[in-house]
């Protein structure tokens, strides 16, 4: 089919972009060290804005790995898959199993109001920081395997 996936069409949020972002697909790599600078990463709880099937925006408060040196936010895909799935089961059963895209972070206050059903979609975009860029990394030991 060769479907084209446009990961980042344009800036959605009204606030300046923040953080580089890495959605980690490797279940066995937890990136307690930064894949860019090898510094220790910290745990940070961040309200993420996610589009399910590019139509349904949701915000999820997620514990992420964060490298302050590189301004790099890392989310483990297996954990996020599970949280998105739980949300779909509860609120959007018709979107269960659909692809989703993490677009950025929202201000904590807006996330709370959205969670309580007080915020509109416009409110959410007004408090959204897109990511600066989406990055991908392989666990280091895989590179060793390739060099053999
Ligand atoms: Zn780093």
* Number of domains the chain contains: 1
Please check whether residue 34 lies inside any domain of the structure: yes
pLDDT value at residue 58: 87
Please check whether residue 24 lies inside any domain of the structure: yes
Residue the block writes with tokens 């920081």 = 129
Please check whether residue 15 lies inside any domain of the structure: no
Side-chain half-sphere of 94: how many Cα atoms within 13 Å? 2
Model confidence, pTM: 0.84
Q: Ligand 1 centroid to 21 CA: how many Å?
A: 12
pLDDT in tens, 74-104: 999 999 999 999 999 999 999 999 999 999 9
Please check whether residue 142 lies inside any domain of the structure: no
Please check whether residue 1 lies inside any domain of the structure: no
pLDDT < 50 stretches in the chain: 1-6, 8, 147-148
Please check whether residue 147 lies inside any domain of the structure: no
Please check whether residue 145 lies inside any domain of the structure: no
**Structural domain range at position 127:** 20-133
Structure tokens at 51: 């589009």
Q: Ligand 1 centroid to 60 CA: how many Å?
A: 24
Please check whether residue 2 lies inside any domain of the structure: no
Q: How far apart are CA 59 and CA 100, in angstroms?
A: 12
Q: Ligand 1 centroid to 71 CA: how many Å?
A: 7
Beta-bridge partners for 61: 47
């Amino acid at each position: 089919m060769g479907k084209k996936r446009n990961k980042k069409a344009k800036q959605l949020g009204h606030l300046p972009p923040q953080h580089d972002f890495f959605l980690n697909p490797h279940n066995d790599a937890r990136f307690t060290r930064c894949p860019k600078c090898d510094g220790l990463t910290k745990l940070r709880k961040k309200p993420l804005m996610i589009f399910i099937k590019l139509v349904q925006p949701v915000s999820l408060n997620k514990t992420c790995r964060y490298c302050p040196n590189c301004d790099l936010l890392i989310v483990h895909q297996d954990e996020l898959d599970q949280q998105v799935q739980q949300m779909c089961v509860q609120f959007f059963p018709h979107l269960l199993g659909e692809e989703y895209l993490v677009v950025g972070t929202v201000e904590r206050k807006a996330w709370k109001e959205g969670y309580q059903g007080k915020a509109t979609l416009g409110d959410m975009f007004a408090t959204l920081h897109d990511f600066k860029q989406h990055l991908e990394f392989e666990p280091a030991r895989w590179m060793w395997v390739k060099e053999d």
